[in-house]
Amino acid sequence: MSGDFSRRDLLHKAARGTVLATMAGGAGFLVKKANGQVVWQVDAARCLNSRLGEVGVAACNLCTTECVVSLSAVRAVNEHSRCGRCNICPAYFNITSAVDQRGLPSEKLCPRDAITRKPIGKADPEDPANNFYEYVIDEEKCDGCGKCVMQCKEPLGLGSIALKIRYNRCVDCNRCAISKACPKDALVRVKRMFA
């Protein structure tokens, strides 16, 4: 054993040392290069559904159909502070449907019925129907089809609804399937922002 030790063992140790040193070098290089976590985000100014000027075209639902996780990692978010709280919300109602007896469109726009509408604030005694309304999008129901986003912008809406990534669902694919399909390259990788 001791006679065998010198050469074989030395070579073995040298080889192992070299491999480990190479790995350490590679890892060091990568760590030095690493600049924090990078995550996917939807650029609202590029997204076909939310960008200005895209009016009268069908809403793009690639975020729903392309995402690799079961319920898309993209969903619509209503930024309440920017919401117009309209009585006839073009994102809540299908404004091309027939008007019912209440004077409101009879159909809803959301195919998954993910938006709820409730009157808020002080009621107007003269005209009780003339209220402000709060529109809340159900996280669990929304699959990011973008129909409401397309409607809530100029000229009808204020653009308070935008598509966003839910990071509890996003698995951060190497090549985000949505980004490959997106016609406007609206899915971008950005450095992680700490809130």
Partner 1 sequence: MSANTARTSACATWLFLLVTAAGLAQSIPYQRPVDTAPQEKSIGGGYRTPAVQKPLPRSSWLQLLDVGVLAAAMGISSWLVLKRRSRKALVALAIGSVAYFGFYREGCVCPIGSIQNVALALTDPRYSIPMVVTATFFLPLVMAVFVGRAFCGGVCALGAIQELVLLKPVKVPPRLDRALGLLKYAYLGLALFFVLKPAGGDFLICRFDPFVDFFRRTGPPHMLLIGGAFLLAGMFIGRPYCRYLCPYGGLLAWCTRLARRGVTITPNKELDCGLCVDACPYGAIEKMRAVRRNCLYCARCYAACPRDRKLVQLS
Binding site for partner 1 (CB under 8 A): 12, 15-16, 19-20, 23, 26-27, 29-31, 33-39, 44-45, 50-52, 68-70, 77-85, 120-123, 132, 134, 136, 139, 158-160, 164-168, 171-175, 192, 195
Shorter beta-carbon distance to partner 1: residue 99 or 120: 120
Shorter beta-carbon distance to partner 1: residue 110 or 170: 170
Minimum separation from the CB atom of position 58 to partner 1 (A): 21
Give whole-number Cα distances, 20 to 16, 43, 189, in Å. Answer: 6, 42, 33
Q: Which of 129, 71, 75 is nearest to 100 (CA)?
A: 129
Shorter beta-carbon distance to partner 1: residue 99 or 190: 190
Shorter beta-carbon distance to partner 1: residue 105 or 159: 159
Minimum separation from the CB atom of position 110 to partner 1 (A): 18
In whole angstroms, give the CA distance from residue 67 to residue 87: 33
Residues 6+ apart with CB under 8 A from 181: 62, 66
Residue with tokens 């074989």: 8
Q: Report DSSP state, residue 123.
A: P
In whole angstroms, give the CA distance from residue 176 to residue 181: 9
